[in-house]
Structure formats: C-alpha cells, structure tokens
Amino acid sequence: MLSRIARNVYVLGQQIERAENIARILDVNRRMSLEQGYFSELDVWSPMLAITHSREAFDKRFDEVTEQSVMDFLIADADNPYSIRACIGQAREMARTIRERISEEMWLSLNRMYQDVERAGRLSNHIEFLADVRQFCSAFHGLVDNTMSHGESWNFLRLGVGLERARMTTRILEIKYHLLLPSLDEVGKPLDYHQWQALLRSVSGYEAYRRQYKARINPELVLRLLNLDPRFPRSVHFSIKQVVKSLKGIGTVNRDQYALLREAEYFLDDLRGGAALEQLQKSSLKDYLDSVQLRCHTIDDMINHSFFNSTTVTMSDSNKNLISIQIPQQQQAGIR
Amino acid sequence: MNENPSPLFSSAGAAPFDEAYASSDELRAIYRQAVRHFEAQGVDGVESLQHSADLSMLNQGVTFTVYSDARGTEKIFPFDLMPRIISAPDWDKVEAGVVQRMQALNMFLEDVYHEQKILKDGMVPTAQVMMSSLYCREMSGLNPPGGMHVHIGGIDLIRNATGEFHVLEDNLRVPSGVSYVIENRWVMGRVQPKLLNQYKVRPVDHYPQMLFDSLASLSTQDNPNVAVLTPGIYNSAYFEHSFLANQMGAELVEGQDLLVDRDVVYMKTTRGLQRVDVIYLRIDTEFLDPLAFRPDSMLGVPGLMNAYRAGNVALANAPGNGVADDKALYAYTPEIIRYYLDQEPILPIIPTYLGSREKDLAYILDHLPELVVKPTDASGGYGLLVGSAASKQELADFRVAIAANPDHYIAQPIQQLSTHPTWVEQDGQKGFFPRHVDLRPYAVCDVKGDVKVLPGGLTRVALRQGSLVVNSSQGGGSKDTWVLYPQNAEVPHA
C-alpha cells in the first residue's frame, strides 16, 4: 500500500478521534463550570488552552479568556489546528484523497458533518453542537467497522484512532492538575468530588465506574479506570491494545517496523502488568501523564518513520530470502 | 389526447451531412432501428431514461472539473442517450487512418530527437520544430524503449459536408476522455439493454487491458510494476486517472509517492520502497521533473528524467511529444506520412493557414470572418475564435493579436461539422434535434510499434443549437459510440 494513502487513512482516524475528544474536553469543562457560582475565582477556561497547547495562538486572537471566546476558538476557528472545525476539515480532506479506500457511507456521513461544521459559524447552542459532534464520531466508528473491509486501510485507520485516543484521554486527565482547587482543604470535598464526576461523565465512564468499583468517586480509582482498565474503551490500556492489534494486522516486514511493534507491546505489557500501576501510585499525576504522552509520541514517530517514510528496499536474493537494504540519507534529496 | 403528436425526431437545422439522415426525410439504414426504438418510448419515456442515465453517471462519480469555475466544482459530463452509430466499412477506414498517423508520428518523433533527417531533407521547416516551445531538449538523443514515443494517442476527427472523416487534431501527450467511452457504454447497457442487443456493437471495455499490455511491453521485466502518475485530486481528469489505475490494477501515484535513487525509480509503500518499471504519465511534461524542467514543480519527481535516460524506467507517453501534435505542425502531417511510410494519407486534414507563413498570414487577416483561428499553444477550446460567430470587436481584437504574434496562430476554413440527433430542448419542445458532433478514437502502441485502435471512441456533441465547439469545458456533452461488426460477421461472444 502506498505510504501516502496509509498516512492519510491514519490521519483520518486521528482527526476524527481528536474532534471527538475536544468536544468531550469542552463538555467536561462546561459541567465543571456549573459549580462556578460558588467559587467565582475559579478559572476553568484557561486550562482548556493549556491542554490543547493553544494558549499562544489564542492570545493572538482574543484579549480575554471567556467561555464564549474559548468555545469559539476550540469549536469554530479554522486556523486553530485543535479546533473541531479544523479536525473535521482535515479529516474530510484526507477522506477525499482516499475515496476508493473508504466506504460511500463513511464519505457521506463525514461530508454531512463537514457541511454542518462549516455552516455553524457562531453557535448559539454549544451544548447541542458538542453532543452532535460526539454522536457523529461514534457513528463514524460504527461505519468504519461495519462498512469498510477489514484490510490494511482499516488497520491504519484504527491505528490512528487508538493512538490518538490514548493521548487524548491523558489530556482530559490533565484538566485535574491544571484546574486547581481554591484551597488544599477542598481535596475530597464536594467541589473536588464534583470535578471528578464531571470528568468521568465526559469520557462516558460514570456508569462503568459505578459498576466496576461500586464505590463513591475516589480519584485513585478514576485514574485506574481511565488508565489501566482493559475493558473500558477509552482507557489508555484499551487504546494501546488496539494499537498493538492494528500493528499486527498490518504486519511487519522490516527491522524498523518490528522495533515499532515491540515498542508498542512493551507499553502494553507495562499497562497490563504492575509497572504502570506502580508508577501511577508512586509518582505525581503530572509525571505519570507526561511519561504516557511521551511513549505515545515515540510510537507516533516510529509509525511515521517505518511506514510513511520508509526508505528500506526489501527484495529477495538469489536464494529467495528476503533482504532489506537501507537507502542512505544523503540519497534522499528528493523526498519531501 | 393529441391525434397528431409532434414527432420526437426532427431533421430541421441539420448540417449538409447528418449522421442519421441521408436527406431531410430519409433515415440512413443503420439508424432506422434506433429511431424506431426511441419513438416507441415517447417524450416521457425518453425523459425518464435520460434521468436514470444522469443519475447513473452521478452515482458513478463520472465528473470533471471546470477551471474557470472558481470553486473548481465537479460536474457531470452530460451524456446523450442517442448512440452515434458507425458502420463497419466507415470504421475500417478510420482505424487504418489512425494506425497510419500513429506510426508516422512515432517515426517523426524518433527522427527529430535523433538524426533529424526530415529537417535536413527540408520536408518540415527546421524552425517549426527547433524553435517550438514544445521541442524538448532533454529528449534529444534519448532512446525510449523500441524507439516509440507515442504509446497512447487520441485523434480528433470530424465529418465535413461530404461526410468524409477529416483529422482535426492529434493528441499525443495526455489524451483524456477514454474513461467516458467505457462508462458511457456501461450506462447504455443499463438503461438501453434491448437496443444495445439489437445492434451488433463491438465492445470497448477491454481498453484497460489494451493499455496495460502496451505499457507492460515497454519493460523488460516479466511482471513489471506499472504506476499511473496523477497531479492529484484537483486535476480535472482525476476521475479518469483513478478509473484507469483501478481497472489496470496499477498503483495511482502522485509525485510525492515516488523517489529516484541511483537512477532507479521507487514508490514509497508501507512495506518500504518498491521499484517502478513503467509510469503512465498523466501530468504535463513541464511539471515532470523539477531537475530537468520547471524547478518550482511540486507535482513531479526529481531525477525521473535521469532514470528514464538510464533506461531504468519507461515513461508513456514519452516527454516531448508536443512537437508532433502542435497545431502548426499539423499542416505538415500529410508530408510526414508520405515521407516516412511512403503512403498517401488515409484520412485527409483540413486546409490550414499558418500565421508563421507570410502568404498565409495575409490570407488569415483578410478572411477572418470565414475562419476558425486557434492559438497553437492552447487546447480544450480555450482562446478560440470562430470568425462567423464573432462580434466586430472580437474580430478586431484577434486581428491585432495575430498581427502582433503571428507564429502563435493558425487558421482553418470553418468546417461544417456533421450533425447528429441529440436529446435537447429546442423552442420549448423536448426532442431529438440535430447537434454538431466530432469523434475521438483512442489508440495504443506497444514497444514493437504495433498500433491497436479501440473500436469506438468519444463522440462529443455541442449541446447548444448551432454551436461548433464540442469541448466538455465549453458546454459539450458526449454520446456512446457504436462501431458495428461487419454484416453477417461471426460475432464473438464477449
């Protein structure tokens, strides 16, 4: 399969997942800010910009951090790569180049969402729109699994979704340390409790939590569910499991690709065994989330290198054995 | 109910030669069955057939992009239900004429990029070839496989008042439209299966196989890797690029998918680099290789020409063919055929006045209203002047432009293109009215110089009453073209 096509399918999955999670992040914030009346000094909107790494770009566009301006920036700003509009726009652009590889239903559904986002402009009803985006993304995943042949393209799409989901779940968890409580005394008090509950709901994890732990909201257990639970579909563990499955589905033919698969499998082992739990308990939440994001970043780099920009030539020698030859870097002047 | 319904067919306004009417009230034999078939459907019946044909086209995504439209929107190429029917004897002549041209022009190209005998013998002015912006210096001395330059050609033909086929133009660079030929037949098979069955029509759907065989013959490998190089999804013919690649089982690549290492072309795949042996080029030569041609090209592949020169990859069509399908060179094509093949041209050309010839220039400027003037460097019907239809201002503007840059223009007497019954609305009434048509047959040529012509081709039709411009970018439509088996011939089972 052409690297460009594979990359475009991968990015398609990634962008759909990103759009969904931005909608979820905005939603958790909206839920948290409902309590704001009691704690008016609490700034719930600045953390949004920190999580999406877009504070700098935001400051160039807006003077003041308000609910309206942050919502506008993260929903409808075409120049902000972390806006829902930009994600859906890029997903559609990718889909256009791979029309023959995806199903007609996927294209129609994505194109309709794109038209809706483009038309949205300044929204009067954010809540409904964010719900629409989440609904669309879930429906899109259904179409992916039910209308697309489960071959190489499908695996690359799921690879993009899996890795992005692992990353975005940790971003959502970041909200908790960006969003400082008014005072340390509040830890374990109603406001803290309320925030954790809002966070759980935003990843559709409230019911799962209740059923799994049959306990009141306990931050440690929330972190376990969202990081280590093998069955909760938005946990880091579950997402990385999907990454490994997709990589195995695609197959490895050279050393770089094998190294990538091994890296993902080590990660999965750590999440499955005690290593990640131990780290979660011993180090600070921020250090833990940073290390997960770093590992996701490494895997993304390796995917780019070994699948999308591979300069390895694999051929059979005189004995029909597969041999790999690496084209040296200086020969690659023509590669863009 | 109306006792005397107005007839579905009208020959009013037909050209001196109409494809279906021998005279204003007499149908040609091969059209009788088709006309009866449509008459039996009535206006509503035909309308509903046309509707399902249009829908079929839209669903198939048979679209093209119009450049003048700022949004670059995709449109369907209007498809006309009434097939254009060509008898076996008529086709035999077309086929022989196309083969002859392809062979002669291939020899001409090999000659002008090597010994240039035809220039030394003075049959074609040296300036005409060597000063042409289409002469490709990078091709000089380069030996393409088998000495073949034109692997895929589309020859535009028209029938004039006498009904004889004339060559209007050769397309030896990136002739497009063949996907419509196949799609049109496919739609016909869906909406008019009975009519199609009644006629013994030669099939066209083997074109991708013909093309693949011709491309594969250019490589010495047993199972060559063939790729189709497209500028990308924004190109007007992207649908065709993707269609042909799919039908041939070839990879559809963009410039960014290819890289050249030590004069070998590879495509970048998820399994690493894979060698490419033959590339069917669907991008213009000037964008092909930024190291050899336009350095700002983002569409091309740096080093591709070196790989070609080293013989490690075959390109089809070869770069530099423009020098042979140039509108000015066209005037010399009968001489070229005589020179290389020692044969008389089977298909005549239209008398052509060259702005570059002093005597011709004077004639052009004196007779503008009777001429069609074409810029030598444009295609697709852009920048064309039809003298009889032009306003005084347009004529004056062209006169200035031609005088300022005579080498850039050629002129031909306005041709009475043949007409063909076409489903349109005229004077508020739906019916089959005469509209002007042309014909573009497609031919492929393998490494040994064996030319095969697809029995059929693209019939383009000017949908506007009286219009002579059939280009899709100028509001033209297309028809399915039926080439019939010889009468009493054994029809092979497809």
- Give the CATH number of the domain where residue B269 resides: 3.40.50.11290
Residues 6+ positions from A80 with CB-CB distance below 8 Å: A54, A57, A58, A73, A74, A86
- Mean pLDDT over all residues of chain B? 90
Flag if B259 and A335 touch (Cβ within 8 Å): yes
| Segments forming the whole domain that contains residue B385 | 352-414
Contacts of A250 in chain B (CB under 8 A): 270
Residue B332 gets which letter from DSSP?
A: G
**pLDDT in the model for residue B70:** 37
User: Which of B384, B399, B414 is the C-terminal boundary of a domain?
Assistant: B414
**What digits encode the pLDDT tens for the residues B250-292?**
999 999 999 999 999 999 999 889 999 999 999 998 889 988 8
User: Does A5 or B70 have the greater pLDDT score?
Assistant: A5
Separation CA B460–CA B458 (nearest Å): 6
* All structural domains of chain A with their residue ranges: 3-308
**pLDDT in the model for residue B338:** 97
pLDDT confidence bin for B9, thresholds 50/70/90: very high
Residue B194 gets which letter from DSSP?
A: H
B249 lies within 8 A of chain A by CB: no
User: Does B468 or B337 have the greater pLDDT score?
Assistant: B337
**pLDDT in the model for residue A184:** 66
Is residue B390, in this structure, part of any structural domain at all?
Answer: yes
User: Which of B399, B414, B429 is the C-terminal boundary of a domain?
Assistant: B414
Separation CA B378–CA B384 (nearest Å): 9
Q: B360 and B407, same structural domain? A: yes
Q: Which residue of A97, A100, A253 is in closest CB contact with B271?
A: A253
Grouped pLDDT means (10 residues each) for chain A, 336 residues: 95 96 86 65 78 87 87 88 92 88 88 83 75 94 94 96 96 79 70 83 89 87 93 96 97 92 97 88 89 96 93 71 63 40
Global pTM? Answer: 0.84
User: Does A121 or B13 have the greater pLDDT score?
Assistant: B13
What φ, ψ does residue A176 adopt, rounded to 5°? -65, -30
User: Looking at the predicted structure, is the pLDDT value of residue B229 above 70?
Assistant: yes
A111 lies within 8 A of chain B by CB: no
Is residue B486, in this structure, part of any structural domain at all?
Answer: no
User: Looking at the predicted structure, is the pLDDT value of residue B370 above 50?
Assistant: yes
**pLDDT in the model for residue A264:** 97
B300 lies within 8 A of chain A by CB: no
Spatial strand order of the sheet with A312-316 comes to A322-326, A312-316, B272-275, B264-269, B258-261
User: Looking at the predicted structure, is the pLDDT value of residue B301 above 60?
Assistant: yes
Residue B428 gets which letter from DSSP?
A: T
Count CB-CB contacts under 10 A for residue A159: 28
**pLDDT in the model for residue B63:** 62
- The number of folded domains in chain B is 2
Q: B366 and B285, same structural domain? A: no
Is residue B400, in this structure, part of any structural domain at all?
Answer: yes
Contacts of B262 in chain A (CB under 8 A): 331
Q: Mean pLDDT across the stretch B32-44? A: 93
Rounded to the nearest 5 percent, the helix, strand and coil shares of chain B are 35, 25, 40
User: Looking at the predicted structure, is the pLDDT value of residue B155 above 60?
Assistant: yes
B223 lies within 8 A of chain A by CB: no
**What digits encode the pLDDT tens for the residues B157-216?**
999 999 999 999 999 999 999 999 999 999 999 999 999 999 999 999 999 999 999 999
Is residue B109, in this structure, part of any structural domain at all?
Answer: no
How near does any CA of chain B get to the CA of A229, in Å? 32
- Nearest residue of A to residue B275, measured between CA atoms: A313
pLDDT confidence bin for B68, thresholds 50/70/90: very low
Q: pLDDT above 90 covers what percent of chain B?
A: 70
Distances in Å between the Cα of B4 and the Cα atoms of A124, B1, B7, B8, B198 are: 62, 9, 8, 12, 29
Is residue B266, in this structure, part of any structural domain at all?
Answer: yes
**What digits encode the pLDDT tens for the residues B381-426?**
677 888 888 899 999 999 999 999 898 899 999 888 999 999 999 8
Contacts of A253 in chain B (CB under 8 A): 271-272
Q: B309 and B265, same structural domain? A: yes
**pLDDT in the model for residue A126:** 79
Q: B306 and B213, same structural domain? A: yes
Q: Specify the CATH number for the domain of residue B387.
A: 3.30.1490.270
Reading the block at residue B92, the tokens are 């035999």
